[in-house]
Chains A and B, each alone.
Chain A
């Protein structure tokens, strides 16, 4: 059940220029799944709307969650000043999360671009758990491709704990020069399916790739939100088929998403 609660900041530290890593103690952690998100309410009463932020990791004891976010405006700027022990208003768990069942027995490629990288940590963690519990032949082979601007490769070592990580940098300083697509080509990666989080232009290209390779691809989408719970219809994406709930060709990213099979959506 969704709820709003007062949680507590456990720790916070910058991990890159303008990118913060925060652990939050919350009961909502018990229900958290990879690909889902929480909404964090700023205290500043002039900025009203909660900010959607993805789950980066769930603690093993399921008592806390980790978020990694970029300071990009007033809300995230406020969050970056929070100290350990401070109360924080959050709502969760929101969104559908990644479909993990489809990964069984597959060669899975995780693709993250920029601030789309954080949710891949929990995704890898959960895939690794499923894989370790799977029957022989059902285990999952994970590889990860990360796209960065430069040599500041935040969260890379977190992801290396779970899979072979390939890197692309826009300035060519680390790994393959160029984008994640360039890295997939350079390292000759041939997955059976894809999970991807990142900016829209990257997701466009992944759609093309998935169609070319004829493999499933699950992408996590973003849109400006107001309610976060499916009530305001602010955050829709155009869909190929009429959506079962809305009865028109769009779906709510906060509720039916944020993760969609790439063929379902017009991106």
Chain B
């Protein structure tokens, strides 16, 4: 039985990876999950210098999901390279680094530093985090800005680049096509949807940042639709995510056209979610006599 998938020339053992920001640097979940069993570990967003992030409360639970406004706190690319990357290499994980920045120059800085480290298989460029006012918001929501950042990052990156799309746009296909035309090697979607929660008892915003990104099962149908739309519009591989909690969810995304999937908020609900989903996909293929996972990808029937 073949579970391997190919993303921009990089072979993943299986299509299940972690979603950026929900799995720390991998180390935090290593008591629960064997990192080398995953298709890939996608790291928390890494910037050129340490970022402090937002004030608390940073997270709030909502029906079937959660809001977060972490503000991309991270120790910066130097610490990532010195501490987190060697850990992941030792754990024999396939590493995808999520990259964030305030300016195109910030992104290039990180991408160039990571270019010296072939242990990093792929780069995922976060142009869609809705949390930081001066952050990625403009890149991910405007096709021209997305085109220019994709071109610049592609010109400086040694590894293939995955552009991570924001769902907070009128037409996500247009964004996928713009990134593809500008040289993206793959796409991932969706990032969180901008949301808000007000506590009626205290009459205050639940998050200090007022708005936050919605994730979890509540967003899954939107994500499936967007993955389907983009996967059928572009030729490059698409990595699907948004509310994936069970193996059934993962298979739904593969059928919609995703080459691989990422598991985010579900890690908080079940720390072994990623491994459980891999086992579930394996069993489903066995039960249905499917010998190659590629036979599932995009295979929704009309």
Binding site for B on A (CB under 8 A): 1-4, 41, 45-50, 91, 223-237, 245-250, 255
B66: contacting residue among A48, A223, A249, CB under 8 A: A48
* Beta-carbon contact of B61 and A230 below 8 Å: no
* Beta-carbon contact of A250 and B269 below 8 Å: no
Query: How far does the Cβ of A189 sit from chain B's closest Cβ, in whole Å?
Result: 32
Q: List 29 A-B contacts (CB under 8 A).
A: A2-B31, A3-B32, A41-B269, A47-B61, A48-B65, A48-B265, A91-B271, A224-B56, A224-B57, A224-B60, A225-B59, A226-B59, A227-B267, A229-B24, A229-B31, A231-B29, A232-B68, A232-B70, A233-B44, A233-B53, A233-B70, A233-B73, A235-B58, A236-B53, A246-B50, A246-B75, A247-B75, A250-B52, A255-B28
* Beta-carbon contact of B73 and A226 below 8 Å: no
Query: How far does the Cβ of B195 sit from chain A's closest Cβ, in whole Å?
Result: 15
Contact flags B263-281 to A (C-beta < 8 A → 1, else 0) = 0010111111000000000
What is the number of contacts between chain A and chain B, taking CB atoms within 8 Å? 109
Given contacts A227-B268, A231-B23, A234-B58, contact A48 B68 (CB under 8 A): no
Query: Does residue B76 face the partner (Cβ distance < 8 Å to A)?
Result: yes
Interface size range of chain B in the complex = 35 or more
CB neighbours of B60 from chain A (8 A)? 224
* Beta-carbon contact of A229 and B50 below 8 Å: no
Query: How far does the Cβ of A11 sit from chain B's closest Cβ, in whole Å?
Result: 27
What is the bound-complex CA distance between A236 and B68, given in angstroms? 13
CB neighbours of A236 from chain B (8 A)? 53, 56, 58, 73
* Beta-carbon contact of A46 and B64 below 8 Å: yes
What is the bound-complex CA distance between A226 and B22, given in angstroms? 9
Query: Does residue B79 face the partner (Cβ distance < 8 Å to A)?
Result: yes
Given contacts A236-B53, A247-B50, A248-B50, contact A231 B61 (CB under 8 A): no
In the A-B complex, the 3 residue pairs with the closest CB atoms = A231-B24, A247-B75, A234-B59
What is the bound-complex CA distance between A223 and B28, given in angstroms? 19
Best-buried of A41, A50, A246 by chain B (most CB within 10 Å): A246
CB neighbours of A230 from chain B (8 A)? 24, 28
